[in-house]
Structure 1
Amino acid sequence: MDRETVGSVNRGRLQVDVRTEGRSEIVKPAGELDHHTADLLRVPLEEAVEQGRVRLVIDCSQLEFCDSTGLNVLLGARLKAEAGGGGVHLAGMLPVVARVFEITGADAVFTVHDSLEDALVH
């Protein structure tokens, strides 16, 4: 039986929607992830891990920008999720965001999927 919860937070340039589907915590940031908005993503990721939901799926399909602060939030979540036996899956990255991951080499440490649907089945 799938447990499903839904939540949302918004601070101008970034909105983050959160829901639980099966064994995955799906977090969907929309807008710009940077120094000013990073906590909007950090907090729900940390709360999920603290509650034992360590399979984190980040739906990046509406993430338009990600700077080094945003990247560090995702890397920190990855470490915490892996410590709990899970991981972070990135799904549906737009080319501009995917480029940040390629340039920094971060794409090598995350499981990257073409779509949210693909991330949920793998």
Structure 2
Amino acid sequence: MDREAVGTADLGRLHVEVREHGRSAIFTPSGELDHHTAELLSGPMADAMDTGISRLVVDCGSLAFCDSTGLNVLLGARLRAEQMGGGVHLAAMQPTVSRVFEITGAEAVFTLHDTLDQALQE
């Protein structure tokens, strides 16, 4: 599969890799997504949608922590992507991050996948 890197951002506690795959933009955040680092993910997601990409895939396999600010980034991206006819797909969520989605009920509004490959197959 062609998964070419198109950008990265790093702020110590969070590193975000962005690449395109077919009609999807793949975001791979590694580390902690919180109030101090959320812009590293929200900015590239907005940039992708500004170019017309409405299918956003977030590979959460290396995401160790997500607070309410991080959750709000994902919810905001989901609303915008759905208005464009797409959506946000979350893949390979770790138990600590998954728990935030369970507690808040946010898991019900996202398309969740066990692996990145499954998220890309749709």
Q: Determine if the alignment matches structure 1 residue 12 to structure 2 residue 12.
A: yes
Amino-acid identity (%): 65
Alignment match, 2:59: 59
TM-score of the aligned structures, taking structure 1 as reference length: 0.96
Alignment match, 1:75: 75
| Contact 2:42-2:73 at 8 Å conserved across structures | yes
The unaligned stretches of length 5 or more in structure 2 are none
| CA deviations over 1:47-99 (Å, ceiling 9, x no partner) | 01110011000000000000000000000000010010000000000000000
State the secondary structure of the residue aligned to 1:112: strand
| Contact 2:3-2:19 at 8 Å conserved across structures | no
> Which runs of structure 2 are paired with 1:1-122 in the superposition (5 Å)?
4-122=4-122
2: CA distance, partners of 1:55 / 1:115: 16
2: CA distance, partners of 1:65 / 1:96: 7
TM-score of the aligned structures, taking structure 2 as reference length: 0.96
Displacement after TM superposition at 1:6 (Å): 1.9
2: CA distance, partners of 1:3 / 1:10: 20
- RMSD across aligned C-alpha pairs, in angstroms? 1.1
Q: How many residues align?
A: 121
The unaligned stretches of length 5 or more in structure 1 are none
